[in-house]
Every structure is written in C-alpha cells, then in structure tokens.
A and B are shown apart, each in its own frame.
Chain A
Amino acid sequence: MKRRKFLKDVTVGSLLFNIRPGLFAQTSLPDLAVIQGESPAQLAKEAVSAVGGINRFVSKGDKVVLKPNIGWDRKPEQGACTNPEIVKTLVELCFNAGAKEVKVMDNPCNPARRTYVRSGIAKAAKEAGAKVPFCSQHKLKKVDLHGEWLKNWEVFTDFLETDKIINIPATKNHSLSRVTLGMKNWLGCLGGNRNQLHQNLDAAVIDLAAFFKPVLTVLDAYRVLWRNGPQGGRLSDVRIHKTVVAGVDYVAVDSMGVSYLDIEPEKMRYLQLARERGFGEFDQEKLKIEKRTV
C-alpha cells in the first residue's frame, strides 16, 4: 500500500499548506465521493471538493490535460460521450486553481471533427477557456509504456508533455470488456492500429492505466449507457442516473461505475488484475466513500 501511504502524505501535506478552516476540520478525505443530484455541473463541483478540492490536484501554473470520452459521433443525451457540462466544470475548476493551460482532447473512433462538435464538449470546454485541439499524427510518439503486457505503443505527446492529467470517463456498457470506464478511457490517447489491443483488452487497459497516472478521475454517471455500448444510439439505451463519482483511486472509481452497470465489481477481471498489481481497491467495505445528494 505504498501508493495509498503516498496519497495520504500528499493529502496531509496539502492540508498543511492549505490553511482553511473548513478543510482543516476534516480528519481524512474519502477515497471516493459519490454525489447525486440534478445539475451535472454542480455534481462535478461537489465531487471534486469532497475528495479534497481542486487545489489538491492542480497547482498554480500547471499545464493540465483533461481526458473525457469524446469517442463517438453522438449527442450528449445518447450517453456515448462524457457530459459536456461536467467537462466544462472541470475546466473552470482547473483555471480556478491557477492552471496555466487546460487542454481537452481525445482520439475518437469516429472523425474528431464530428465527435468534438456533436458531443457538445468542444463548445463547452472552449467557453470555459480550454484549448480543444485535435489529435494529430504529427504528435504521435512511440513510447515505452513499461507495461507487463503492453510494452510499446504510439501515444499523442499532448498526453505526455503535461504536468497533470485528469480522467473524465463516461459510464458505458461494452461487449468485450463488458464496461468502458476510466481505465479503458486511456485508449483514446493512443494512435496506431489500437483496435488490435482488443485481443487482450484487460491487460492493455491495466498497463495503460498504470502508465498515465491521472491525478484525479471524475466518472460521469449522469447518464449510464447500459446496453448497446459503447456508442448506443437509442435514448432507451440510456439510464438517467444523475451521479458523479470522483476519486484518486481509479480502480475504486471504476468499481462504482461497474456497479451502476449492474455488475458486481469482483466479477470484472480487469479490476481483479488491477488490484493484484496494487493500483487500487474495489472492495467497497475497505473504501471510505462519501455519498451525498445535492
């Protein structure tokens, strides 16, 4: 549990530097914040503040990359991409924390020019002042991912040359990995023939999660695409769940998303593997979860 100890240290450290009465009163932060309510923006805001506030994750002058799921040429109500209001809120939060630059980007499955527009994410993020660049073949770099299975792959350098990276996945059903949440979201940072990764997707997903090391994962479960994933289509493929989950432990965050898709987290092989490798915990008994309705 080195990582958890490290996180604790970081938390304590940031508490010491962040002398604010409200925060000081908190003895220890929750592993997960699960916030329910009506407005996606407010949910995101509350969720981030519940796990320590944005200042815990983003420092003044940071370059931040936000990685939502902008994979498909689908509208927000179809639930195939991250909710644009949640993305916008996170951009605002990052700038509030003094971020120098915020980029919102993804390498989608459908043409980026279409998905960026139809998902509503490009417009929302730009309104909040973020840059929303397209992934360019010119910025692909083959890197050593230090993975157990996935050794080398082409990654867009925007995701590498940044101070902080925040993962903002959507909650979706997916026939092969059964779910597509935070850890699978990293496939959107890759170039090349990434469809080949599906032959050993669980291993790829874990290696990628370990490589990208997000400072924070904010899961959009406002709409849950419970069937016909990962892109859905009919509105009946979507359940309005009105929840946002935030946490540093991305295994824990994903496990919440898994349960929203009516699957027990223990049954997900990739979560098991991730826990074995010490990336996080999904046993809800062992997690400190703050559940609130706003």
Chain B
Amino acid sequence: MKKEQSKKYRLIQYLRILSQTVFLFLFFYLLFQTRFPGEDYIGNVEIFFHFNPLLALTTLLASHTLFLSFSMAAITIVVTFIIGRVACGWICPMGTIQQFFSFVFKKSKLLRPKKQKDNHTAWKYYILLFTLAGSLFSLNVAGLLDPFSLLYRSFITGIMPAANHLFSNVIGLVYSAHLSSIGDGLVQFFETIDINSIFIQGFFLGMIFLGVILLNLARERFWCRYLCPLGAFLGLLSRWNILKLRIDMDKCIKCNLCTIQCETQANPYPEEDWKSSECVYCFTCSAICPTGAIGFHPALNPEHLESINLSRRKVLLSSFLGLIAIPFFRISPLRSRASEKLIRPPGALPEKEFLQKCVKCGECMKVCPTNAIQPARTEAGPEGLWTPMLVPKIGYCDYYCSLCTQVCPTGAIRELTIEEKNQIKIGTAWIDKNRCLPYKFGNSCIVCEEHCPVSPKAIQMIEVETHLPDGTIKRPKAPFIDIEACTGCGICENKCPVVDRPAIYITSVGESRSEKNQFILDINKEIY
C-alpha cells in the first residue's frame, strides 16, 4: 500500500492556520483600536461579539429584546448548520489561543498534555444548558462563561495592563541606560496605543485567564473541549451539517494516529464513532493520515444526539440548576435599594435591564479615556459581578466622550451622541465638609470648581466662615454644588487634592436611569 499523506488536506490545514492567524490579528487589531480614535465617534470595534450566537440568544432570552447588531450571529448559525463548527476551528480567537498553547505545551516534552480519552466532553453542554435556563428567566450569566466575554475581559483588565506595566519598566530601563531617544519613541508609542492599566480586579481576572491557558496542560484545547458553552451551542447546531468525515477503509492502516492527534476528542477513527459535534474542522486528522485515507465529504445523514453522549438526567439537572441559581443570584439588597457606589456609565439602562443585557466583556473599560470604568466586585450584587461601574478616584467621565456607549456589544449601554450624553446624570457630587480644605481649615482651594466641565458650572463658590482654634474667623470661598447642573461625572472627586478619601465625592443618587434612586422629586424627569 502506498503510504502518502494527502497534499490537499495539508494545504487546507495551512489555510486553516492562516485563517486563524488572520482572525487572531483582527481580534488584537480591534482590541487595540478600542480607544479614543482622535474623533468623537468610533467604528465597529466590537464586531466579533455580533457574530456570537450564544450571546445573541442569551441576551434575547434574558431581556426579551432583539438587539439588531446581533443579526450577524445568524451568519454563524447558518454556517455551522451547513459545515459544522468551522467557526471554532478557523475563526474563534479564543480557540486559536487555546490551540496555540496546546501546541506549545505538546512540543515541550515536560509539559505534554495527556492523550487519554474520557467522557467529560459533555460538561460544556451542561454549562450551556445552565446558561440558557438561567437566561430564560432573565439571569444573564452568559457573560461569565462565554469565550468572547472571557477573552476580552481577561485581556482588557488583566493581560494588557500587566503587559503595559512590564513595558513601562522596560522604558524605565531604556532611560536609565541613557538611550533617551529610544525611550521617547517608546513612550510616545505607548501613550498613543493608550492601554488602561489600572483595574481593581485585574490581578484575579488575569489569573483566571492564565488558569484557562494552563488547563491545556491537562488536555489539549481544554477550554474548547470541556468548558466552552459557545462551542457546545455550535455543536448542537452542527448535527445536521453536511460536511462529514469519511475514512477510505481500503487505505486505512488502523494506526489510530488521527484519534490520538485529535485536539477536541472528535474521535475520527473508527468512522462511525466520529462526532461531528466535537469536530472543529481543523483538518489535522486528514492532513496527518499516513495513507491519506481520511477525507471530508458532503453527506446528508444527521448525527444522532446520542453521539454527544449527554445523560438525560444531567441535562435535566443542569437546566434545573440554571433555574435554581436564579433566586440565589438575587439575594441582594440591591434589588430594593440602589448602591451608592454603583455609578454606571452614561447611557446604561435601568439596573434590571442593564443586568439582563450586560455580558461583562469589558469593552467599555477598554475604551474609557480616563480608565474610570472598572469591573464591579460586590457593588452590583452577585449578578453584577464584573459589570462596569465608574470609580471616580481612578478616572472620571470625560465631558466630550461617549465612547463607552458606542462600543457596548449588547446595548446594555445605549448608544449616545455626545450631546445626548451630556443630558444624562450618572450620579451627584457631595461635599464632605469635614475634609474640604476651605470648610475645615479656612484655606482657599477651587480645584473641583476649576475642573467642573458643565457651563455654567455645577460647583459654585460661596463665602463661608471657618472658625479656627485661636478664635479667629477665616472667610474662604468654598464649593457649593448645584445638584441640577451636576452630571456626576466625577472629575471633582478625581482631582480633589485630598487624595485618599476625597472631600468631594460622587454617589449614584439622582442618576437619570433610575426612577427610584432620586432625592429630589421629579429631578430630570423629562430626560430619561
């Protein structure tokens, strides 16, 4: 028998690697472009999300509203219907990263992942069912588990900030080596690409992603194989796909190489055990087959659901868990009373709808020019983990910026023009007279007033009396807040010279998006 690998499938494999590379670069390109573009309006940098049918479906289920941009997801669905999970194998940047590290680990002898088969590929379906069951009853947990959300969030709040700090150290070394012209070039480059590098939970979010990468030590493409709910969703869709694996039994030498090398445990050999729902069409098996016996050909017979190997009991259990989880996520005082520190980006929907739509991807955190938007910890309750909130001590809402509203992939933050955004109040400023320099010590200070961006200013200066211990009275000018003019942007808190706990601070009360979180009757009623 002639032993010869298939040139055709070798070529297809190269094309697949090329495609993966191109899309990975596209992912990074769009990620780096998610910043102030030098003009007020930014392009579709969040486009990857719109091809994601899992987020489309969960957002639709949870919020009962269809976000038009998600119509792109139909393309992914149709493609998967016809030719299977090619999106996983050829396009998904998360898959590419997993495959890359699997490859690296495989090539390094010490770290080689195990090859043995197991029955755990069904996990991802249970995760999917959990997610879908939750979103059916308006709990959007997809954001925690969806590969795009995970990938973007990890890069935006963990990996890129860490890389930025690393390069910052490198620049420091360059300067200390008196190579200032190189240093200047590097500085300007990093200032231009503008990576937000301060994130409250950056360490943990970065570690989670590192953990996902390290899982590839246990099995190749661990994430894609066992965990990815999007992969599971596409797997379910691919049952009827018409591109099926065929083994030419005349050529097959039963070496089992294909099944050993299969990265997603799709089990090419024997043919009848091949699982099209697990196959990501990487064409490795057909390319490495020593006799060129494996090919992919059009065929119409649908795959049996049994081949996905789900136990009916577990299907019910995981769906049930998704439902049971809902009340647990909702044990939180926030459902009855707003959190003072939960200052949502301008254009954020009312809290309930916001949580139904936000997928915690971090795009708004990336694009924010002042690094103000941070992933929430407990401020928004368990449902709101890693959802965006402004932390004025870190950054503030820039007056002429509505970028976060433009990059939100799910419409959790409504797209706004700058004029519209400036009509929105995200919170209200308050003065801590025990810490404010004029009130407390009688010193003049106008830093908050100076920075207030609205015209006329929401911070007015009034003369106050400060009694000093020696009996004298100082009459400095002190800030006074016009609550109707204040938009809650937080620049006053950010710039207050009392740095540890600013003497002027923002709380969420008065935010336009909430009917209840108000303190003066009918303030801003006409705005939202």
A residues sitting closer than 8 Å to B (CB atoms) are 73-74, 109-114, 117-118, 133-134, 136, 138-139, 174-176, 193, 195-196, 198-199, 228, 230-234, 237
Contacts and interface: CB of A to CB of B under 8 A. Distances in A.
B287 to A, nearest CB: 47
Interface stretch (B310-318, B327-335, B396-404, B463-471): B396-404
Interface string B463-494: 00000000000000100000000000000000
Contacts of B453: 73, 231, 233
Contacts of A234: 455
A134 B461 CA distance: 33
B400 A114 contact: yes
Contact of A175 (B183, B461, B499): B461
Interface string B423-454: 00000000000000100000111110111011
18 contacts: A73-B398, A73-B400, A74-B400, A114-B36, A114-B398, A117-B36, A134-B191, A138-B171, A139-B187, A175-B449, A175-B461, A176-B449, A195-B496, A198-B446, A198-B447, A199-B443, A228-B457, A237-B455
A195 B497 contact: yes
B456 interface: yes
Query: Interface residues of A: mostly helix, strand, loop or mixed?
Result: loop
Contacts of A74: 400
Contacts of B187: 133-134, 136, 138-139
B172 interface: yes
Contacts of B456: 228
A191 to B, nearest CB: 14
Contacts of B370: 111
Contacts of A136: 187, 191
B422 to A, nearest CB: 10
Nearest to B449: A175
Contact of B499 (A114, A118, A193, A198): A193
What are the 6 closest A-B residue pairs judged by CB atoms, nearest first? A233-B455, A176-B446, A134-B191, A136-B187, A195-B447, A195-B497
B528 interface: no
Contacts of B444: 176, 198-199
B280 to A, nearest CB: 40
B398 A109 contact: no
Contacts of A117: 36, 38-39
Contacts of B497: 193, 195-196, 198-199
A110 B194 CA distance: 14
A233 B369 CA distance: 20
Contact of A195 (B183, B443, B495): B495
Given A176-B444, A195-B497, 9 more contacts: A73-B453, A74-B400, A117-B38, A118-B400, A138-B171, A139-B175, A139-B187, A176-B450, A232-B455
B256 interface: no
A138 B455 contact: no
A109 B499 CA distance: 16
A199 B38 contact: no
A140 B456 CA distance: 35
Interface size range of chain B in the complex: 35 or more
A111 B445 contact: no
Interface in B395-413: 398-401
Contacts of B449: 175-176
Contacts of B119: none
A73 B451 CA distance: 11
Interface string B191-205: 110100000000000
Contacts of A133: 184, 187-188
Nearest to B444: A176
Nearest to A228: B455
Nearest to B456: A228
Nearest to A230: B450
A238 to B, nearest CB: 10
Contacts of A174: 450
B398 A111 contact: yes
A249 B171 CA distance: 39
Interface string B255-296: 000000000000000000000000000000000000000000
Contacts of A176: 444-446, 449-450, 477
A69 to B, nearest CB: 13
Contacts of A110: 398
A121 to B, nearest CB: 13
Interface string B165-193: 00010011001000000011001100110
A89 to B, nearest CB: 23
B175 A113 contact: no
The listed residue with most B CB atoms (<10 A of its CB), out of A73, A195, A232, A237, is A195
A198 B445 contact: yes
A199 B445 contact: yes
Contacts of A175: 446, 449-450, 461, 477
A113 B192 contact: yes
B342 to A, nearest CB: 24
A100 B451 CA distance: 36
B194 A113 contact: yes
B364 to A, nearest CB: 16
Contact of A113 (B369, B443, B447, B455): B369
A73 B399 contact: yes
Nearest to A231: B453
A138 B499 contact: no
Nearest to B171: A138
A73 B401 CA distance: 10
A112 B191 contact: yes
A227 B194 CA distance: 33
A137 B270 CA distance: 62
Given A109-B495, A175-B449, A199-B443, A138 B175 contact: yes
B385 to A, nearest CB: 28
A111 B371 CA distance: 10
Contacts of B168: 138
Contacts of A109: 450-451, 495
A117 B191 CA distance: 14
The listed residue with most B CB atoms (<10 A of its CB), out of A138, A230, A232, is A138
Contacts of B183: 138
Contacts of B437: 199
Contacts of A231: 450-451, 453
The listed residue with most B CB atoms (<10 A of its CB), out of A136, A174, A237, is A136
Contacts of B443: 199
The listed residue with most B CB atoms (<10 A of its CB), out of A73, A111, A230, A232, is A111
